[in-house]
Structure 1
């Protein structure tokens, strides 16, 4: 790690901390405010990958993972209305989803880095964020995995309701996952703008030195 990598590490740490705080606040019926900050982690990873390569990108991912683990440990000690703010299943799902999805993002980006400028960040983010959503919500809320934390009652997440209020009847946690996934897809497209601008600015500055 060099001094040039520190901004990426700081950015990732801030995103993880902010997302862990904002996930406590609802946005509508299916989302939390954290759903809008967390996808920025993929932007940071992709920028590090483009500017410095997969090695530094993985270092930033591991730094974010450590910060996330710390946030989860703090959350387990804070009591909310229905118990700890962070349960074992949520902590497990969050950690595994983040690490697996981000490392997959790095690998996909690296394989596609020689193509058109937008292909690698878009494809890696779409694939990584889709895996992130699937892993987190399944581990944290699926009734099939209740054996992971028997004392944690997540039956509320299994309530059968129309998908996003108007689709086929599915468990509530599926609607939460789909809404989260849709936000990630939208932000993956929007993030191409700052990705392009930051990469161009970096290269212009490098050419002047």
Structure 2
């Protein structure tokens, strides 16, 4: 009974971190771009919403390792539903009448074109702009990560944890970064693009600088992934290399 409680607690913590991070990603999104320095001639320019994003891949890798591919895939779908819920609330918050006078309602002040929009609407605009891109990229990248993780796990017969951790995350992060940048620009036009400069080099800068940031984080989480996996296998009493918790537990 105590072991079962530990397993439920561990899953809830990992799932909570995953879902909470996805919520931050949609709300913070593209509200600010950060310059984190440079590596050689490559600048590290990262949207603030992407800062905690790599932790989602660590969470799905741990869940894939301990609970299996099916459980990790279920969590990915729950994350998608959470994203849809956030977008729905942002939409309702924008179309409903407010005390600031925005929204159709009798008895509220008439808003002219010169009246500045509340901060909420700017956050909403940016969130909507990044939401479509992030949701498409999220589904593709997370499922690529889960599938590749288990491909490498089967290929190595449960050994070489560093390979499946990095091999799955590095490919999925490239898919994610490229998809977000392309959709954010061509579909929603929310990237800070300099109109007088060539477009392709600017998009490539966002792609390779964002991917480089995620790559460094992915490499840095290899040792924590291995240590956490070994500790969780012991704490959750899971015997054998590569063994998983059955779906009914």
CA contact (8 A) 1:11 1:44 kept: yes
Contact 1:159–1:171 (CA under 8 A) maintained in structure 2: no
Whether 2:12 is the aligned partner of 1:3: answer no
Q: Find the partner of 2:24 among 10, 18, 26.
A: 18
Match of 2:205, SS state, is helix
Aligned to 2:84: 69
Q: Which of these residues, 75, 79, 102, is aligned with residue 121 of structure 2?
A: 79
Return the alpha-carbon distance in structure 2 between the equivalents of residues 154 and 40 of structure 1.
25
Name the structure 1 match of 2:138: 98
Offset of 1:161 from its aligned partner? Answer: 4.5
Q: Shift in Å at residue 158 of structure 1?
A: 6.3
User: Whose Rg is larger?
Assistant: 2
User: What is the TM-score normalised by the length of structure 2?
Assistant: 0.67
- Root-mean-square deviation over aligned CA pairs: 2.8
For residues 154 and 171 of structure 1, the distance between their equivalents in structure 2, rounded to whole angstroms, comes to 17
Distance in 2, matches of 1:153 and 1:61, equals 27
Cα displacement (A) at 1:136: 1.2
Cα deviation for residue 208 of structure 1 reads 8.9
- Where in structure 2 are there 5+ consecutive unaligned residues? 1-6, 36-43, 95-119, 240-249
Higher relative contact order (CA 8 A, sep 6+): 2
**Matched residues, number:** 192
Measure how far apart 1:157 and its partner are.
2.8
Q: Deviations over 1:18-72 (max 9, x none)?
A: 3334432331283222222111111111010001100011111112222222333
In structure 2, relative to structure 1, the CA distance for the partners of 1:117 and 1:154 (3 Å cut) is closer
User: Do residues 122 (structure 1) and 158 (structure 2) align?
Assistant: no
SS in 1 for 2:200: strand
The 3-state SS of whatever aligns with 2:161 is: coil
Normalised by the length of structure 1, the TM-score is: 0.79
Q: 1:206 and 1:26, CA in 2 relative to 1: closer, same or farther beyond 3 A? A: same
What is the distance in 2 between the residues matched to 1:3 and 1:207?
13
- Other-structure match for 1:45: 60
